[in-house]
Each structure stands twice: as structure tokens, then as C-alpha cells.
């Protein structure tokens, strides 16, 4: 998730100044798997919640991501996967957007199918014992919207996600 920037200008003659938004963000997320071919739509993969804390130095210091997913043996949203922030950074761009790179790790003790999801296995129900807790990386870009909320889009080799975030008060 890359987010965390507000652009401001004191007057029309001065350049825009980008200021980091720091603190804890809460984001609702929709996940999609990449399309199977160029003429098919993406596959809805699930929904989730991300809570993450950032510092003005471009680091994420804590966070967790919860996903409700389906697989080949369950309907959408039946599998609950929780991931913890391993590490992450963001770069504040001059236009007020941010670009982030985050590594998540599956929390031990979760649904057995979540490990197969992280490994990118095709048939999750058939690889139930193939849990792996290695980290996986996501990249994202965020935008401060007119309503003051933060919209973002992210991607990984597994698929992509879109979300809407708010700074917790």
C-alpha cells in the first residue's frame, strides 16, 4: 500500500509541497487473481482488511492483513488468512502519490489453505499440507482522493487489489 501524502500550496505562485501522513491506516480491500487469458475478466479472489502504521521516514513499522478467500473446495470468503507485516517502505512522490513495497508473512496457526495460496499453487484444496511461511512482496500506489480518503491499487505475482483507506484518529 502506498499512500500517505498530502499536497498543499500556500498560494498559486508557490510550488506544491508534499507532506507525509503518518500514523495508523485502516483499509478495506478487494482482491482479484490475474485473468486466465487476455479476453477474460479478472477472477474475484476475496475481500479483506489491512491495518498498517507508517513513519515519516518512509517506513511501515507494524501491520496486519486479513483476507477472506475462496478456493477450489470452498466458496468465496470461507478461508480466513492473516498476514503480518515483515517489513515495508514507501516513497513519497512530488505529485502527492506514494509508491510502496511491502513484504507480508503468513501468520502461523491460520487456515491450512492459506499456505498454499502464498505459494501460488493451482489447486489449493489438494495442497492443503503445503504450508509455507516465506514472505511475499506487494507493490502499490496510492492517491489522496477529493473526499480526503486514500485510494490505492496494488499488485503481486498472485494478482492485484484495490482499496480505500482512512487514517485512524
d(CA 89, CA 82): 20
**Domain map (residue ranges) of the chain:** 5-167
d(CA 42, CA 137): 20
d(CA 2, CA 162): 11
pTM across the whole model: 0.74
| Range 29-68 burial, b when 16+ CB lie within 10 A, else e | bebbeeeeeeeeeeeebbbbebbbebeeeeebeebebbbb
| Average pLDDT of every residue of the chain | 75
**Averaged pLDDT for residues 3-9:** 39
- pLDDT-based confidence at residue 113 (cuts at 50, 70, 90): low
Fold of 5-167: Porin (2.40.160)
d(CA 86, CA 102): 8
Per DSSP (E only), the strands in the chain are 5-8, 17-20, 23-33, 43-54, 59-69, 79-92, 98-106, 136-144, 150-156, 159-167
Model confidence pLDDT, tens digit, residues 38-87: 999 998 878 999 999 988 888 999 999 998 876 555 555 567 888 899 99
pLDDT at 64: 95
Amino acid at each position: 500500500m502506498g499512500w500517505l501524502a498530502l499536497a498543499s500550496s500556500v498560494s498559486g505562485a508557490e510550488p506544491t509541497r508534499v507532506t507525509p501522513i503518518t500514523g495508523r491506516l485502516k483499509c478495506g480491500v478487494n482482491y482479484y487473481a490475474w485473468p486466465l487469458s487476455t479476453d477474460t475478466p479478472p477472477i474475484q479472489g476475496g475481500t479483506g482488511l489491512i491495518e498498517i502504521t507508517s513513519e515519516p521516514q518512509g517506513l511501515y513499522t507494524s501491520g496486519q492483513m486479513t483476507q477472506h478467500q475462496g478456493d477450489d473446495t470452498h466458496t468465496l470468503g470461507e478461508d480466513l488468512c492473516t498476514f503480518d507485516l515483515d517489513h515495508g517502505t514507501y516513497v513519497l512522490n512530488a505529485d502527492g502519490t506514494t509508491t510502496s513495497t511491502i513484504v507480508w508473512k503468513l501468520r502461523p496457526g491460520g487456515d491450512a489453505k492459506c499456505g498454499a495460496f502464498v505459494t501460488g499453487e493451482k489447486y489449493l484444496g489438494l495442497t492443503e499440507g503445503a504450508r509455507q511461511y516465506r514472505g511475499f512482496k506487494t507493490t502499490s500506489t496510492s492517491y489522496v482522493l477529493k473526499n480526503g480518503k486514500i485510494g490505492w491499487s496494488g499488485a503481486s505475482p498472485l494478482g492485484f487489489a484495490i482499496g480505500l483507506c482512512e487514517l485512524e484518529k
